Amino acid sequence: MKPIIIPQSYNYIAVFLSLACNLRCSYCINYFEKGTFVKQQLSGKDWIRGLNRIVSRDDLPISLQGGEPSLHRDFIEILNNIKPTLNVDVLTNLQFNEDELVKKVPPGRIKRSSPYASIRVSYHPETMSLEPLVKKVLTLQNNGFSIGIWGVMHPSQEAEIVRAKEYCTSLGIDFRTKEFLGEYDGKMYGTFRYEGACDKKFKKQVLCKTTELIVGSNGDVYRCHSDLYEGRKPIGNILDEDFEIEEKFRECNVFGHCNPCDVKVKTNRFQQFGHTSVEIKF
């Protein structure tokens, strides 16, 4: 299979090992619309084959995520067999057995020099308790893993997130907050580059170009998060012999149903604010 070369303009490699999750947060971005995504999962061996084709830069890791990536039955095998030249980040709710990770995965596998932790744990007060989470994080941190907690500033839980941040900081845990994206109480939250993109009120034909490699749980590659979560037609699969990334504008006829992840104004990998994952031409 041909190597998959990540273009210089790319900012993110999102690998959704499993879109299943063991929690069900009311504001989960995977269900921004219907959440009719493909549920089929590649085997560990196929993930390793597909991911090891990727040629990236030191500052651009593969971000294993979901759903909950640890629900993939070969999660540990995948971590341990991704080629050492690829850096790895993990986005997780940490509801798995942390001792197994300590026992089976060397901390250096998920650690790199970057302005933020490589294991990014989400804290969702609605569906989890802080104390057990903190205990797990400290275990991993004390065993050499690069780990931090992120809390979503959802309007209904801001006070709890602020409290959790103070508490975790006092224990030496890196706790950061994330802007809430989506609807709550009839109001849309988030700063979006294109007006009406996430309002779900119309469908408009546009041209769209991404700066992200988005790989679904069966290896399919999508134009954007919205296509992944809504199960729209993929643009390829990481196991296609000839798959390569094409930096080009693609036709889209569902603008107006974009996912906040794709059109929000955010910080890029250099921690510079003002970046948007996709560029849209009308």
Residues making contact with ligand SF4 (CB under 6 A): 21, 23-25, 28, 30, 66-68, 93, 122, 124, 206, 208, 223-224, 226-227, 252, 254-255, 257-258, 262, 278, 280
Tell the smallest beta-carbon distance from residue 232 to ligand SF4 (Å).
8
Q: Is the Cβ of residue 187 or residue 281 nearer to ligand SF4 in the bound state?
A: 281
Q: Which is nearer to ligand SF4, 146 or 259 (CB)?
A: 259
User: Which class for 172: exposed (0-12), middle (13-18), buried (19 or more C-beta within 10 A)?
Assistant: exposed
Structure tokens belonging to residue 176:
């950061």
Nearer residue to ligand SF4 within complex by CB, 86 or 245: 245
Q: Residue 3 CB, nearest distance to ligand SF4 (Å)?
A: 25
Nearest approach, Cβ of residue 66 and ligand SF4 (Å) = 6
With CA atoms as reference, report the closest residue to 120 among 85, 143, 90: 90
* Residue 224 CB, nearest approach to ligand SF4 (Å): 3
Amino acid at 99: D
26 torsion bin: left (phi>0), alpha (psi -120 to 50), beta (else): alpha
Distance (Å, whole) CA 25 – CA 14: 21
Q: Which is nearer to ligand SF4, 84 or 282 (CB)?
A: 282
Nearer to ligand SF4, 118 or 226 (CB): 226
Question: Min. distance of Cβ 156 from ligand SF4 in angstroms?
Answer: 14
Q: Which is nearer to ligand SF4, 48 or 223 (CB)?
A: 223
d(CA 134, CA 140): 10
User: What is the distance between the alpha carbons of residues 15 and 12, in angstroms, rounded to a whole number?
Assistant: 10
**Smallest separation, CB 121 to ligand SF4 (Å):** 10
d(CA 238, CA 17) in angstroms, rounded, equals 13
Cβ of residue 266: shortest distance to ligand SF4, in angstroms?
Answer: 14
CB 157 → ligand SF4: shortest distance, Å? 12
Pick 108 or 196: Cβ nearer ligand SF4: 196
For ligand SF4, which is the closer residue by CB, 49 or 158?
158
